[in-house]
Amino acid sequence: MKVTPDVVRCEFIGTSVRVARSSHKGNIGISGRVVGETRKTFTILEQAKKKTIAKDSSIFYFEFPDGAIVEVDGKLLAGKPEDRLKKNIRRLW
């Protein structure tokens, strides 16, 4: 996968994820598979337990099927999943 600003337009359900940083210290290090997504949260399945993580106060590492690991600030992902397709993201690199 070529890493571009378009990565925020990807479908994240079913993707492996790890919470790299969060304002809530108990969320740091949670890893598993994304099983649900709302406007403000991800639901992560970790060891048969579902954990709900706020998007806007966390930074995530997503691992895509081709092996690419991408760090994404949750603030870029805030909003309805279907509305992310319409977002214009400025290239920062």
The domains located in the chain, with CATH, are 5-76 (2.30.30.210)
Burial 9-38 (b: 16+ CB within 10 A, else e): ebebeebebbbebbeeeebeebbbebeebe
The count of C-alpha atoms lying within 13 angstroms of the C-alpha of 17, restricted to the half-sphere facing its C-beta, is 30
Confidence of residue 89 (pLDDT cuts 50, 70, 90): low
CB atoms closer than 10 angstroms to residue 46: 15
Helices within 22-92 (DSSP H only): 74-77
- Model confidence band, residue 9 (pLDDT cutoffs 50, 70, 90): confident
Average pLDDT for 67-83:
87
